Amino acid sequence: MDKSRGRRFLDAVNVPLVMWTIALLVYGTVMVASATSGMTDGSGMLLRHVLGVVVGLVPLVLAWVFDYTRLRGWQGPLIALAAVLLISPRIPGLGYTAGGATSWLSLFGVRLFQPSEPAKLIFIVVVATVVSSFKGRIDQPGQVLKVLAYVAGALGLILLQPDLGTGLVFIAIALVMLLVGGMKGRYFAYAALAGVLLTVAVLQLGLLAQYQEDRLLVFIEPERDPAGAGYNLAQSKIAIGSGGLIGKGLGAGTQSNLHFIPARHTDFIFSVLGEELGFLGAILLLGLYLALLVTALAISTSSRDLYGALIAAGVIGMWLFQVLENVGMTVGMMPITGIPLPFMSFGSSSMVTNLGAVGLLLSVWSRRYGT
Amino acid sequence: MSTYRQELKSRFAALGIVIVVVLSVLLVRLWTMQVLGADAFAALAENNRVREISLEAPRGRIYDRNGVELVINRSALAISVDPAHEEVAALLTRARNEDTADDPTRGELDAIFGELAGMLEMTPSEVFERVSDVRQEALRPRVVAVDAPMEVVAQLLERQVDFPWVRVEELAVREYPHGSIASHLLGYTGAISEQQFQSSDVYAGYELGDTVGKTGAELQYEGVLQGDKGWRRIEVNASGRPQGVVGEQPPRPGNDIQLTIDIEVQRVAEEQLAAALAEARRQGYDKAKAGSVVVLDIETGEVLAMASAPTYDPAAFIGGISTVEWESLNEKSSEYPLNNRAVMAAYPPASTFKVITGLAGLEAGITYENKTYRCTGRWTEMGTQWPKWCWKRTGHGTLTFRSGMENSCDTVFYEIGYEFYKRKLEELQAEARAFGLGTKTGIDLPGEVAGRIPDAEWKKEFNRNYPEYQMWLPGDTVNMSIGQGDVLTSPLQMATVYAGLANDGVVMRPHILKAVLDSEGLPARTVEPEVFADTGASEESLGVIERSLVDVTREGTAQGAFAGLGVTVAGKTGTAEVKGKDDYAWFCAYAPVDTPRYAVAVIVEQGGHGGSVAGPAARNILAKLFGKPIKTVRATDVSR
């Protein structure tokens, strides 16, 4: 292969992926700017958001230049790292509790980051190693159980915090990877059945914290408690619905500016978008996600090996589920959980993680021809 | 490599489908909310964002005929309890629950309201009673006390943490510069009642808890005084904190009204009524506690004064009256001070009715000025088994019709009445009705009674369950001829009769409204005089009656009361017999005789004699009207 440097660089860069990512980052920054404009430290928060993007470039570049195939050999240390990350908030003196979950790592009371965010990427890499060992054919219950063991392990640690939403992300990641990894159709049917049974069991046995149960039940029956747990959902729906076709205009959302929308710059950023930019703004966002996910799918398809395809599939699973869950909860289709909207929500942990995921995709893409 | 890709192809296709399906589902959902349901959600958002508060319209003020303020508005600091506050709401839910066993106990009320009650010098249950008032809009703060001492208000504001359910608000309330004077005529205000709220016409657009007129002019002219509420739309944030005003519609204040009464005459009327009651009690009529005075302008029907005793203080209703106070105002022993006896009560008119009998007799040709009668004290024309007595048991001897009126001789009027009975034409009733008796005068005050002019048909209907009492008997007409029996008239009606006599037999409709004023204080609508009844009585007959009535105040039954007044008065005493009660004292008059201007009616319930109790009151009221000195008159007349 005799190629010019420029040509080699362009080969290494997936231009659409970078383009869609930048578009989402710009869109997100604009929305965060609008959502935080009325806050006491609005400009400071916007600066922190942009800083998160800049910091996220570090894992992006590192993951990109690093040959992902070499990650295979680090299975043990990676599992250990993920476990440490997930347990860390429970270590006395390091945890920070917000919204009923101790999912933050803190030092001297200052929130640093949510370790479960980077743990998602490690989980993707670890599961990719396991699933790729099945050589693209999963037809033995033992194979499924092996993957389930990893999922259960991660879930167990996450539910210690407890952070139900993040736990669901891990399940979604695993499911997509199992699909690409060649799991037979009937296992998906079993998984669906098991999921329903598990949900019922969890509710019946009272394993959830009260606030989680409330949120779930309110999701099923929103009028149950309009001023309490249902309030967030009701206000979010009012915001989005009242946005109409073209929205009330950037910065002109009454639901947002008058504080009716809870966590409007983080988990409920889509409510602000829906209210201020309307259905057209929502189409633009979902269109960008479609473009991003299709690009990621193309990268997965282009991978020279199953391992790379699985890593890309894991990233797709992560993003797709987070979009479904986050947008879904704001319109009352999904229960309310604290899952951020990729590239849009304020919050550096998820920003850094998502940019890291882009780095992983670029790493897979740039090594698609292999040697 | 290509075979591996081949295997994966369907899986990637599946994942692609999943991606498209997930995003499509979200898109469809957003379509239904943002495009199909946009209007409904927009309304919800607007509702969220904007709070509308209604701006009370200042109630119209009330002036007397000379522009003197009778009822005005002022702002008062009210201490209210928020019924929606958690702690209070819980108590209210239990109190309203059917299950009485669940009602809040005294201890519980004491625990919550004890301290506040102490500061306001109330009991905890009194506080709770006001809080649980159902006549208010559910979420409106309940006024517990108005005009609480400033230090209490300051303390409550400072200690908001201890009393999170207490609100201090500014309230527009009525003020009565003259205290309880004319309270029956003016009426009081209060929270709109359930019945008022339900009735659609006058109270359309009202809200529960609105202040409305309850009696008197306040009720009669509610639609004029009320005005239109305004509103202010305020943008609020999620915590309900106001962010700014979005829109405002200022209230339209109610119209001021001007009444026909003269506050100075009214004051004298009330003082004289009180003096008459005191005089009656001095004379040994211990049960004299109630009475009424009406003063009319005979040419226009304007009410110059209207008093009713006992009276009440309309200020007691500001901010809502307490149950205890309300009950005390409605107890039998209180003699019902809220009732305006001038229009709401009907009494036997007694001898004051003799002007009707006399006029009817003159018009029918049954009698004439100098016709002579013989009074032995006992009258047996209807048969010895049914003797009737003149009030003067020893008899008046021989006297004319004119002196019969002067001395209020019953025998003379028995004779006339008996003659009417024999003619069977019910001419006496016709004369009474010609003056408007037996029907409401139509005065612009609520609760007026029609009184009663009995006749054969009425008696038959009245006793429909007692056939033996259905027949109209000679005694019925004879009793009626001296204003006893079944005749009933209100003090206002008797005043209109005498006004009619003075006004050449034409009775003007009595009214209390002089004008409705516009925002500049100029008359927007003036009430024009209106004929209520035209008796058609001849000048000649009216002349005879007038001369006889002048004799009454000069030499007759009221000479003691009117001695030295300096104005010629045509008047008549009356002493009504009411079964089981002391006699009711009446006096009706008009003056001056040459160019009549005013008619007065005074009644003192269980006050004894008209001449010595009611007469002096009428005398001093006329003295006030004509600018003559008011004197304490101790008349000794014991005639009827």
Q: Tell me, what CATH number does B545's domain have?
A: 3.40.710.10
Contact list in A for residue B19 (CB cut-off 8 A) is 290, 293-294, 297, 316, 320
Q: CB-side exposure of B26: number of CA atoms within 13 Å? A: 29
Q: pLDDT higher for B166 or A96?
A: B166
What is the spatial distance between Cα B191 and Cα B140, in angstroms, rounded to a whole number?
12
The whole domain housing B278 covers: 263-314+339-625
Contact list in B for residue A219 (CB cut-off 8 A) is none
Position B158 in a domain: no
A301/B contact by beta carbon, under 8 A: yes
A309/B contact by beta carbon, under 8 A: yes
Q: Indicate the average pLDDT of chain B.
A: 90
Burial class (CB in 10 A: 0-12, 13-18, 19+), B640: buried
What is the spatial distance between Cα B294 and Cα B304, in angstroms, rounded to a whole number?
8
Task: Report pLDDT for B629.
Answer: 93
What is the spatial distance between Cα A239 and Cα A216, in angstroms, rounded to a whole number?
21
Burial class (CB in 10 A: 0-12, 13-18, 19+), B134: exposed
Q: Is the pLDDT of residue A32 over 90?
A: yes
Which of B4, B6, B26, B236 to mutate against chain A (most A CBs within 10 Å)?
Answer: B26
Size of interface A-B (CB pairs under 8 A): 132
Contact A243 B38 (CB under 8 A): yes
Overall pTM surpassing 0.80 (yes/no): no
Helix pair A15-36, A269-302: axis angle to 10 deg: 170
Task: Report DSSP state, residue B488.
Answer: B
Whether the Cβ atoms of residue B558 and residue B614 lie closer than 8 Å to each other = no
**Token pair in block for residue A233:** 């959902």
Helix/strand/coil for B147: coil
A328/B contact by beta carbon, under 8 A: yes
Task: Report pLDDT for B159.
Answer: 84
A231: nearest CA in chain B? Answer: B238
Contact list in B for residue A244 (CB cut-off 8 A) is 34-35, 38, 42
Contact A136 B235 (CB under 8 A): no
Q: Which of A260-264, B10-14, B142-146, B345-349 has the highest mean pLDDT?
A: B345-349
Position B303 in a domain: yes
Q: Give the one of A275, A279, A290 whose C-beta lies nearest to B35's C-beta.
A: A279
Burial class (CB in 10 A: 0-12, 13-18, 19+), B200: exposed
Q: Is the pLDDT of residue B569 over 50?
A: yes
Q: Is the pLDDT of residue B2 over 60?
A: no
ipTM score of complex: 0.92
Mean pLDDT of B290-313: 97
Nearest to B48 by CA among A260, A252, A251: A260
Give residues with Cβ within 8 angstroms of A65, minimum separation 6: A363
Do you find a cis peptide bond into B310, omega within 30 degrees of 0?
yes
Position B294 in a domain: yes
Q: How far is B35 from chain A (nearest CA, A)?
A: 6
What ranges in B523-635 are assigned the alpha helix state H? 539-554, 559-562, 615-625
What is the spatial distance between Cα B269 and Cα B311, in angstroms, rounded to a whole number?
13
Most distant CA pair in chain A: distance in Å?
Answer: 67
Per residue in B421-471, pLDDT (tens digit) is: 999 999 999 999 999 999 999 999 999 999 999 999 999 999 999 999 999
Per residue in B570-620, pLDDT (tens digit) is: 999 999 999 999 999 999 999 999 999 999 999 999 999 888 999 999 999
Q: Which helix (H) or strand (E) holds B128?
A: helix B124-131
B19: nearest CA in chain A? Answer: A320
Helix/strand/coil for B374: strand
Task: Report pLDDT for B586.
Answer: 96
Q: Is the pLDDT of residue B378 over 50?
A: yes
Contact list in A for residue B48 (CB cut-off 8 A) is 235, 238, 254-255, 258, 260
Per residue in B596-605, pLDDT (tens digit) is: 999 999 999 9
The end-to-end CA distance of chain B, in Å, is: 134
Q: CB-side exposure of A42: number of CA atoms within 13 Å? A: 14
What is the spatial distance between Cα B8 and Cα A179, in angstroms, rounded to a whole number?
10
Helix/strand/coil for B361: helix
Strands B397-400 and B378-379: unpaired
Position B134 in a domain: no
A61/B contact by beta carbon, under 8 A: no
Q: How far is A349 from chain B (nearest CA, A)?
A: 25
Work out the pLDDT band at A1, boundaries 50, 70, 90.
very low
Contact B23 A286 (CB under 8 A): yes
Choose the weakest-confidence range: A74-88, B139-153, B566-580, B581-595: B139-153
Q: How far is A364 from chain B (nearest CA, A)?
A: 15
Q: Provide the 10 A C-beta neighbour count for residue B178.
A: 16
Per residue in B229-273, pLDDT (tens digit) is: 888 887 877 776 777 787 888 889 999 999 999 999 999 999 999
Task: Report pLDDT for B1.
Answer: 46
Work out the pLDDT band at A162, boundaries 50, 70, 90.
confident
Domain count, chain B: 1
Position B600 in a domain: yes
Mean pLDDT of B356-363: 97
Do you find a cis peptide bond into B177, omega within 30 degrees of 0?
no
Q: Is the pLDDT of residue B627 over 50?
A: yes
**Token pair in block for residue B471:** 């027949």
Domain extent listing, chain A:
5-366
Q: Give the one of A238, A282, A316 whose C-beta lies nearest to B45's C-beta.
A: A238
Sheet holding B570-576, edge to edge: B303-309, B291-297, B598-604, B584-591, B570-576
Position B497 in a domain: yes
Task: Report pLDDT for B562.
Answer: 92
Helix/strand/coil for B635: coil
Q: How far is A59 from chain B (nearest CA, A)?
A: 26
Contact list in B for residue A241 (CB cut-off 8 A) is 33-34, 37-38, 40-42, 44-45
Task: Report pLDDT for B138.
Answer: 61
Helix/strand/coil for B167: strand
Choose the weakest-confidence range: A4-8, A251-255, A272-276: A4-8
Mean pLDDT of A14-26: 96
Q: pLDDT higher for B355 or A91?
A: B355
Q: Give the one of A242, A258, A328 whose C-beta lies nearest to B243's C-beta.
A: A258
Position B493 in a domain: yes
Strand segments, DSSP code E, in B569-637 are 570-576, 584-591, 598-604
